[in-house]
Structure 1
Amino acid sequence: MMTEGNSLERRVSSSPDAADDHLHSWRLVIVIGTLCLGAFLYGLDANIIGAAIPRITTDFKSLPAVAWYGASYLLTVTAFQPLFGNLYKFFNAKVVYLASLFIFETGSIVCASARSSDVLIFGRALLGFGASGLLQGALAIIGCVVPLEKVPLFQGIVIAGVGISVCVGPIIGGALTQNVPAGFCALVVVFFFVPLAEGFAKNTKALPLRQKLFRMDPVGTVLFLGLVCCLLLALTWGGQQYAWDSSQVIGLCVGFGVLLLCFCTWDWKQGDMALIPLRVLGKRSVGMGAIILFAYGVVMYVYGYYLPMFFQTVQGATATESGVRYIAMMVPQIVTLALTGAIVSRWGYYVPYMISGGIIASVGSGLLTTISPATPAAQWSAYLVLTGIGVGMASQLPYTALQVVLDASDIATGNAIAVFSSQLGGSVADALHRIASTRALPRYTSAVTLEHVLGAGAGGLSQLSSSPAVLEALRYAYNDAIRDVFILGLACTCLTVLPSCAMEWLNIALESQRRKQLRESDGAERVQPQEETGVNTAYMGPSNSLKQHE
């Protein structure tokens, strides 16, 4: 039976830090900048479609297909996360990232050249498939090109690229209909500047191709794709295309339950060869981190969609003005992301910032539930800044925790679980917000039907009636509907606090230093025999070593 010390020795010897593949100076700047560009494109495609839909529906004259423009992307980008986790586990990170970026840009070309709704939906699905590997790939490459103690800093910088895309997406969405040049620029830079390093555990990448494909758990992958598709289709169709009690939606819910049971049974039987090994998901920091990222996925989707809507419908701002006002949340979030990453890289402890960020975000989210048409600009701006600081402080740190608590061969799987959880939160929020937002709209006036209000959209509210009293009633109805959705955001920010407290209290700087010491001693004389020392003290594991330090 392998001892804890030997297991951790294996982790260190096969970790990305074990080989001198780290980049420095201008090469590192170019690679990190390129990963930021990839993360920006990843987030932009998820946020740009909302602003482009009016033009698309006018050109294609296919209103029933509108829901699929966003759903096709969300479906594939969510469902294929575990598959890309296995690809990064068994194949070279650089090669997989280039492949996913190429697929992503191919989808961009299909969307840009589409002449029908069906082709556009296919292109969006292809985009989502390629995007499944972009954020995971960025996290994987960061682990290859920088030492462990600097991972939080560069993760914060790259994830800030997603935040920037959320910020500018509503502003430039009507103008940008494709991003092929920027994407192919990123592809070329990664090809030339990222080293062709194994990155994660070499023992998984050295297997024969046939054995790699077998270990990627094709049965589990198919079951997982099926259950995610059933869940997201039920949430997309329910209350929109079909009633919640319709046979189609009920059938999808039953299918989701059956496939989930089959997947869990199969996953348990497969053990370490499962698509999502239970020993990885069962680690405290992985499971708690998944809950935290799911909650923040809901929060960022809710605010990214409904704050611009509040500015347009309740306050009468234009689409561009609403995007500019939304910057009050996103700029503090982006700055705090990078700043927190730098502080954690310097100090080492990350859990205090997860707890503090969750509390600050909860306070800001609670204040946002009080806004109304009469709320002064200085007041709602302060609420946005507070919420942005809290979300930025905590939302990237679960990714950092994976680098500390997981074996090198499991980091790719951990990244897949983390990105999937965040993406699933956004996909579920896409369905829940529609349910919450339609409850209050009929409350104030019967002069305009709910169908007309929803059909007019956020920018067409003033065209529904010439009566100032009716328009005022509609503004208050929208305000109540949006506040109902903001309660969902408040619940999710509060949900992050307890799992953050349950995270393992570790220090990434001490962990990095200890791994370096073990590599140095390992190069000279491996690990001292237990007969001589009574206990293997070369590496006592994160928890024991931290207690010894304290």
Structure 2
Amino acid sequence: MTQSTKESPDGAAGEAPPAPMSKRQVYTVMSGLMIGMLLAMLDNMVVGTAMPTIVGELGGLAHLSWVVTAYTLATAAVTPIWGKLGDIYGRKGMFMASIALFLAGSALAGMAQSMGQLIAFRGVQGLGAGGLMVGAMAIIGDLVPPRERGRYQGLMAAVMPLAMIGGPLLGGFVTDHLDWRWAFYVNLPLGGLALVVTALTMHLPKRPRGASRIDYLGAVLLAASITCLSLMTSWGGTEYAWGSTMIIGLGVATAVTLALFLLWEVRAAEPILPLRLFRNGNFSLASVLGFLVGFAMFGAVTFLPQYQQLVQGASATNSGLLLLPLMLGMLVTTMVVGQLVTRTGRYRVYPILGGLVMAAGMLLLAQLTVGSSQLTAALFMIVLGAGMGFLMQNTMLIAQNSVPMKDMGAASGAATLFRTIGGSLGVSILGAVYSHQLTATLSARLGEQKGEELAGGGGQLTPALLKKMDAGVRDAVEHAVTAGVHNVFLWATVFAVLAFAAAWFIRETPLRGGGPSGGQSTEGRPVAEPAAL
């Protein structure tokens, strides 16, 4: 068939879609991708459950937060870099390299003899994890054209609830019945299986590439900017006051390195994050949506377990099960929407519905009271999860459909990065909202000194400890936590409404591949190439 290489005004090249694969071939390849994604998502959940035991053996309680921060910081810093490396050197090789690096970090973390070593090796794990997520998303973009991707969205969406539920349960089993080091060693057989499946089954379309070189300076500047921003949002209001010299300095460093990065990327021959991608309106909107969804979703959902454990008395041991209704709502909606997108080729309406439903879910959760039942909270979470299901996969779909195939890795990396940064800022800023309201309510009910003392130890409050307090203090804590969660969800509603507003500006452009609006049908028969819009 004749291939068109014409580029549309929106910036998405009219390149040939990937050669069609049978469903069995796609499912086989995706099994390796899903294991890779599961590794990245599962790790923090398992390690979080084992942390008390780890600290008990290695010591270093003062550096506890860095075990998580080192991982997330490294992941965020290298996500766009892995995406660009995949564009240059091929995604299969880069995906396998990221798995190997992740497994090396896991093995080293399992052998750590001090907290310092554990933190360093967690950073190595994070460097590999950054390539797992973006690599999987970009490879799916290569293998399955956007029009056909809805058939497989349920599989991709299922990874998150599996990690949320399985992580704490697996971590608890490892901690109770094995040595804590198996919290890291458990990654080795899974990662080895992912490497074997990827090596044997993944056959990506070969795309001619000109001479390319790595934009080292751009990579360093981008990593420095992301690192400074991540540290500022992680430390602000916890390790350091927001107005402290350290936080202000990190803010200035973020702005300076970002400005230098943007100036350099305009001049670079092979930019690590091509700024021309943002000339496409849909790509820019998908990035904005990813940021807003990340901010509202991760920022708000982080505090749901606080309410469920401290107010409703749910067990912390089964914390992964607490969010099951939310994940169920997201999974079902994602699967349904994916099938509808595949059948109709229409996708613009779903981000709009997603912003609206997500805002409704946030607003409902803001109405929770001390006396609300677990059933009520679960029903509200289903609404929020449905809103997330309309948005989560579709923002990536829009971003990937808006760029030429040669930029799939960079686009996937950018979309993932914006969602990650949004989530980081959401947890930090909404955490400050929660902490402020918690302290204010406790001080109003128990007096300023007692209120600040309890709020300062809020991170160590557990349902068991709360039951040992007298009725007056317990009642004050329950009302304070409820008030804090109420404010968090009100602010999250604002960002969900902004996502709803931004979604209206998305343009309905043809999805590449499959059906009447793509370049090839699912049976492999050529069909009409869509006219440039």
TM-score w.r.t. structure 2 length?
Answer: 0.88
C-alpha distance after superposition, 1:55-80 (max 9, x if no partner): 33322221211221111111111111
Residue number in structure 1 paired with 2:519: 515
- 1:97-496 mapped onto 2 (5 Å cutoff): 97-176=95-174, 177-178=183-184, 179-195=187-203, 197-199=204-206, 202-204=207-209, 207=210, 211-212=211-212, 214=213, 216-270=214-268, 273-443=270-440, 444=442, 445-446=446-447, 448=450, 450=452, 453-455=455-457, 457=459, 460=462, 462-463=464-465, 466-496=469-499
SS state of the match for residue 323, structure 2? helix
- Please name the residue that 2:88 is paired with: 90
The equivalent of 2:180 in structure 1 is none
Local SS of the residue matching 2:287: helix
For the aligned residues, what is the CA RMSD? 2.8
- Tell me the SS of whatever aligns to 1:6: coil
- AA partner of residue 200 (structure 2): F
35, 38, 41: which is aligned to 2:36? 38
The letter for the 2-side match of 1:516 is Q
Q: Which runs of 5+ in 1 are unaligned?
A: 523-536, 544-550
TM-score, normalization: structure 1? 0.85
Please say which of residues 98-107 and 461-470 is displaced more in the overlay.
461-470
Query: Which string of whole-angstrom CA distances, capped at 9 and with x for unpartnered residues, describes residues 203-242 of structure 1?
Result: 32xx4xxx42x3x311111111111111111222222222
Distance in 1 (CA, whole Å) between partners of 2:337 and 2:304 is 25
* Matched residue SS, 1:508: coil
Equivalent position SS for 1:457:
helix
Distance 1:23 1:406 in 2: 25
* Bigger shift: residues 339-348 or 241-250: 241-250
**What amino acid sits opposite 1:63 in the alignment?**
L
1:30-76 CA distance string (max 9 Å, x none) = 22222222222222224444433323332222121122111111111
Deviation at 1:373, TM superposition (A): 1.5
The aligned counterpart of 2:178 is none
Conservation of the 8 A alpha-carbon contact between 1:39 and 1:159: no
Q: Indicate the residue corresponding to 2:51 in structure 1.
A: 53
Matched, 1:540 2:531: yes
Displacement of 1:7:
3.3
Identify if the C-alpha distance between structure 1 residues 282 and 501 changes in structure 2 by more than 3 Å, giving closer, same or farther.
same
Note the C-alpha offset of 1:14: 4.9
Instruction: Show CA shifts across 1:75-106 (max 9, x none).
Output: 11111111111111111211111111111122
Aligned-pair identity in percent equals 26
Residues 94/278 of structure 1: CA separation in 2 closer, same or farther (3 Å cut): same
Structure 2, unpaired ranges of 5+: 175-182
Aligned residue number for residue 505 of structure 1: 508
Relative to structure 1, is the Cα distance of residues 116 and 279 closer, same or farther in structure 2, using a 3 angstrom cutoff? same
- Whether the 8 Å CA contact 1:5–1:538 is kept in 2: the answer is no
Distance in structure 1 (CA, Å) of the matches to 2:14 and 2:355: 35
1:58–1:283 Cα change, 3 Å? same
Q: Contact between 1:42 and 1:162, CA under 8 Å: does it hold in 2?
A: no
**Higher share in helix:** 1
Distance 1:11 1:472 in 2: 57
1:548 alignment partner in structure 2 = none
CA distance in 2, matches of 1:5, 1:15: 8
